[in-house]
Amino acid sequence: MEQILFYVIVAIIMIDFFFDRIIDYLNASRWSNQLPEELKGIYDEEKYRKSQDYQKENMRIGLLTSSLSFIIIVSFISLGGFGWLDSFVRQYTQHPVLMALLFFGIIGFVSDIFSTPFDIYDTFVIEEKYGFNKTTPKIYITDKIKGWFLAAILGGGLLALFVWFYEIAGELFWLYAWLFLTAFSIFMSMFYSSLIVPLFNKQTPLEDGELRNAIEQFSKKAGFKLDNIFVIDGSKRSTKANAYFSGLGAKKRIVLYDTLINEHSTEELVAVLAHEIGHYKKKHIVKGMIISTITSGAMLYLLGLFINRPELSMALGAEQSSFHIGIIAFGLLYSPISTLLGIMSNILSRKHEYQADEFAAKNYSPDPLQSALKKLSVNNLSNLRPHPLNVFINYSHPPLLQRLEHLQRFK
């Protein structure tokens, strides 16, 4: 049985890799040296060529990293690397929690060491070349250290709890894990911006003035109580702009990147905020949390059914069953289901984006939102002609042209 599972796991990895390459090829087939007719008025000739070059360079580095990762993971599995690592860890401890922490800690550290050179190249070569990078080596290093710290505290803490749940509850561990994960997710949704973001970025209340007055005036008109409007210093790392909504109840807040404020008019910014408020008014955040809770519960239930089966661990070369290798094997076998759930999630997310756009258009104005979306896309050198299959599978937001067309209905 473990031999069959081994071949199934390798087949899943191979199918996933080659399918992604097909998507890359289809996407690249839509690139053009000439400015397409439908993009005239959005991109100019020079900016469009620059966006095409940016997309090509990102695809090349992505192809290199994904190909190397594919070769390494298939080789590691085929040579019994996970089984070897399990034996190595058992030389130092037999405690289930410590074994899992050491096992995943080594995997995480080695993976990070492998990916760091490519990340450095992406940040300091590609992003720098196209005028996006503002990250200094000092910021990069401190971000890396902080990331390791958070991974150890949060990731390690969750892993330790899950192993402990398994030790005390057996197959029912999934229920304990689900309840705790749900509570943790709600907590992080409420306090992420106030606990995690400050470790990396400075957030300051939006100062009094024309923009704040315009936002508060629209919020009052839309029946949305908003006391927390913050500006984040995104410009310390990149020139790319963004805005997001976070929190629940009294902890909800809207965060604007300083780069967004610098590049957009007051009307455009209010339109962007109207879109974010639309997500809240349409209860998209709550719906997303409910769906995430259901899907995570189903996944953990399946994990509870299969985690104690020795075939899972032995399929990856282990000599005896263990929780930590069982998670790896289950995760690889579950990945097709995860992909299908991701596609369904993206379909729903794109629908929610259209609804938020509609809310902003009806309650504020479609024109400034269209203008803001165009600026964001052009300034970020976005690919405005992605292949439909790529959109269907990977896009959580509709492409710009579809969003502009949708907004035209409300003029």
Residue 2 among the catalytic residues: no
Q: How far apart are CA 356 and CA 282, in angstroms?
A: 8
Helix, strand, coil: what percent of the chain each, to 5?
75, 5, 20
Radius of gyration of the chain (CA): 23
Catalytic one of 268, 276, 353, 358:
276
Q: How far apart are CA 256 and CA 254, in angstroms?
A: 7
Identity (one letter) of the amino acid at 377?
S
Burial 371-380 (b: 16+ CB within 10 A, else e): bbbbbbbbbb
| CB-count exposure of residue 384 (10 Å: 0-12, 13-18, 19+) | buried
Residue 357 among the catalytic residues: yes
Handedness of CA 327, 286, 368, 261 (dihedral sign): negative
Catalytic one of 127, 268, 357, 358:
357
Could you tell me which residues come within 8 angstroms of residue 258 by beta carbon, excluding any fewer than 6 positions away? 231, 232, 233, 234, 235
Identity (one letter) of the amino acid at 25?
Y
Residue numbers annotated as active site? 276, 357
